[in-house]
Amino acid sequence: MKLGTQNQAFFPENIKEKFQYIKEVGFDGFEIDGKFLVDHLDEIKEAIAETGIPVYTACGGYTGWIGDFIEERRLNGLVEIKQILEALQEVGGKGIVVPAAWGMFTYRLPPMASPRSLTGDRKAITESLVYLDKVAEETGTTIFLEPLNRYQDHMINTLADARSYIEENGLKNVKIIADFYHMNIEEDDISEALHKNRDLVGHIHLADNHRYQPGSGSLDFKKHFNTLKEDGYDGFLTIECRVRGNDPDAEYRQAVKHLRESLS
């Protein structure tokens, strides 16, 4: 398994320096913002060539959710995701992380009454995924469908929720991304859920139980990594977290050390 990272505020702004920093800290790849990739494609190609650090995945960078309540925004988002997948194809990237939506609505906070039916939710997401499945096939990439916790999205919360869309629609280029932070809220047991869905889990996001850097909370990363090993997972483990502490750089490096030790 390989360690990846998203961007952090304390990373260098210059693109080549950013990639060099990621390599120096000890990461194996970069999960990049999709719009940033599209807007700086040539510079990113050069940075990859110089450092050997691949852009494995993209996350974010589009303006409409696949399950958006507003149809025009949903369709615009699909156009932007297609552009990101085409850019990923150019740099040898694997795919893009896509939740149903983020922060659009939750049954756990007022008004607690969705403007759309559950049937309407499923129709919107299904149409989006069927379209993106074809785009992914054309670009040799993968859609990583991400379940979020109930406080951030009301449509896809567990790995089983994501699995149902893939199986019911016969999607060949859609896999599940398992995010330990969201799973800690939604799954009865992280390792059990990973094992049950081992045939469809294609990417991993890491944060500790409170969304801060791995090793600063209570999650047993070694236990869950062992499950992934036993099930033959050999993809990326990508940190997606906030960082707290007086020295973010030192805290982040300590998180990498903790994860490497948990992998050993």
Residue positions annotated with a catalytic role: 146, 240
Q: Which two tokens stand for residue 149?
A: 């916790």
Helix ranges, the chain (H): 15-25, 34-39, 41-51, 71-91, 118-139, 159-168, 180-186, 190-196, 221-230, 248-263
Q: How far is CA 177 from CA 14, 51, 130, 133, 239, in A?
A: 29, 26, 18, 15, 13
Answer yes or no: are the C-beta atoms of 145 and 162 closer than 8 Å: yes
d(CA 13, CA 107): 38
Q: What does the DSSP 8-state code read for residue 93?
A: -
